[in-house]
Structure 1
Amino acid sequence: MDLIAEINASWGWIGLNATEVVGENDFGNLIVKDDESRYWRIFPEELACEIIAANRQELDLLSNDQEFLQDWNMRVLVSVAKEALGELTENKKYCFVIPASLGGEYNASNFKTIALVELIRFSGDLAHQIKDLPPGSKIKLNVE
């Protein structure tokens, strides 16, 4: 399955109909253009996906926003992950073993590498399963 198809299969439930990936970072965050020319950001570590720009002009403004760029580049986390796990190989990304939104820590002991497609699939599917839970709910992950 190609990445666009995987994005739509895993995150389409939120209203995203992806047509193009326009950016990605080392933790598998993606900036995705949809069929209405809006731009979304997928945050696998937060189990989140949201519109960040209504059009290309807004995206261009974001690309000059230092706060956005600092968050997007995740330089400190990438440096920690690279030191602990080494350089990324082709189609691999760093990831949180336990997503931050579920209490996973922002440190090397909670980082692994994973194929980008698997990260998008896992984060979208898990986000969908927990979307209706109230904040602070306890969950149990069963990994097979």
Structure 2
Amino acid sequence: MIKIIEESWGWVGIKPAEIIGQNDFGNLIIRDVLGKYWRLCPEDLYCKVVAENQEQLDSLSKNQDFLADWYMSSLAGEATEKYGVLEEGRKYHLAVPGTLGGEYGISNIRTISQIEQIRFSGDLAYQIAELPEGAKIELKITD
């Protein structure tokens, strides 16, 4: 998984060493080789530093706003009700990412292989990284 994160998201500067945590929507907390902690958020197409060290991570893990965003309890409950308990290696996924206007609702949720999710979100994030906010895009899905 570390190799896939580096291949798909290395362009943001992450050099992953260890996955510290993950949620049902494929969000990851990753410790890098320098001891910084990153959050990879597939539904919002970002991977960024959230804590410079263990102390900051410990503080973040007590922040109620962060925890509510991390667990997405209500939406996770709806997804579990619709799709059942996730199989090993699968995550819930916003079909249209929130960054692109996708709704945080059950009608926009599917399940996906976690590896595919990391690759897809990293590739899409890379493609739109230089676009100005509010830019119009056309999303084409091909085989």
TM-score, normalised relative to structure 2: 0.97
Alpha-carbon distance in structure 1 between the residues aligned to 2:91 and 2:81? 14
- Match of 1:33, as an amino acid? R
Partner of 1:56: 54
Q: Helix, strand or coil: the match of 2:76?
A: helix
- Structure 2 residues without counterparts, runs of 5 or longer: none
Alpha-carbon distance in structure 1 between the residues aligned to 2:65 and 2:139? 33
Partner of 1:127: 125
Partner of 2:6: 8
Q: Helix, strand or coil: the match of 2:6?
A: helix
Deviation at 1:105, TM superposition (A): 0.5
Number of residue pairs matched by the alignment: 142
Deviation at 1:95, TM superposition (A): 0.2
Q: Deviations over 1:9-66 (max 9, x none)?
A: 0110001010100000000000000011000001100001110000011111111111
Percent sequence identity over matched residues?
50
- Match of 1:57, as an amino acid? E
- Match of 2:114, as an amino acid? L
Alpha-carbon distance in structure 2 between the residues aligned to 1:78 and 1:98? 17
Alpha-carbon distance in structure 2 between the residues aligned to 1:136 and 1:64? 33
What are the within-5 Å matches in structure 2 for residues 63-102 of structure 1?
Answer: 63-102=61-100
Matched, 1:34 2:32: yes
2:104 to 106, 117, 121: 106
- Structure 1 residues without counterparts, runs of 5 or longer: none
Alpha-carbon distance in structure 2 between the residues aligned to 1:35 and 1:88? 30
Deviation at 1:5, TM superposition (A): 0.3
Q: What root-mean-square deviation, in Å, do the aligned CA atoms of Structure 1 and Structure 2 show?
A: 0.8
Alpha-carbon distance in structure 2 between the residues aligned to 1:51 and 1:96? 22
